[in-house]
Amino acid sequence: MSDDLISQLKTLLIEGLRLEDIVPDDLSADEALFGGGLGLDSIDALEIGVMLDRQYGVKITSGDERNNQIFASLRALADFVAENRTR
């Protein structure tokens, strides 16, 4: 997994979720995306899933038991995308 993919995901999240007053350098690759970290919620998770499908061909279902791991941080998300991307 490359730092380039993490950078792409930072931009995708900021633009796709319309995170105001946040720039890519504000996001840590290891910071939690949900809860106390970036503070995203379940609706954001659904939106991220749609964005990842469109951009990388990655499928994430709401019932996937790995979702807590997949969405743990940007690094975890990037690892999942790198392993499962079709584009």
- The string of DSSP letters for the chain reads --HHHHHHHHHHHHHHTT-TT--GGG--TTSBSBTTSS-B-HHHHHHHHHHHHHHH-----TT-TTHHHHTSBHHHHHHHHHHH---
Supply 44's token pair.
Answer: 């954001």
Determine the angle formed by the axes of helices 74-84 and 42-56, rounding to 10 degrees: 40
Domain annotation for the chain: domains and CATH numbers: 3-84 (1.10.1200.10)
Name, in order, each residue with C-beta under 8 angstroms of 22's C-beta and a sequence gap of 6 or more.
Answer: 14
pLDDT band at 2; cut points 50, 70, 90: confident
Asked whether residue 5 carries a pLDDT value surpassing 90, the answer given is yes
Asked whether residue 76 carries a pLDDT value surpassing 90, the answer given is yes
pLDDT in tens, 6-56: 999 999 999 999 998 899 999 999 999 988 778 888 899 999 999 999 999
Asked whether residue 1 carries a pLDDT value surpassing 70, the answer given is no
pLDDT at 35: 81
Cβ neighbours of 10 (radius 10 Å)? 21
pLDDT at 51: 97
pLDDT at 80: 96
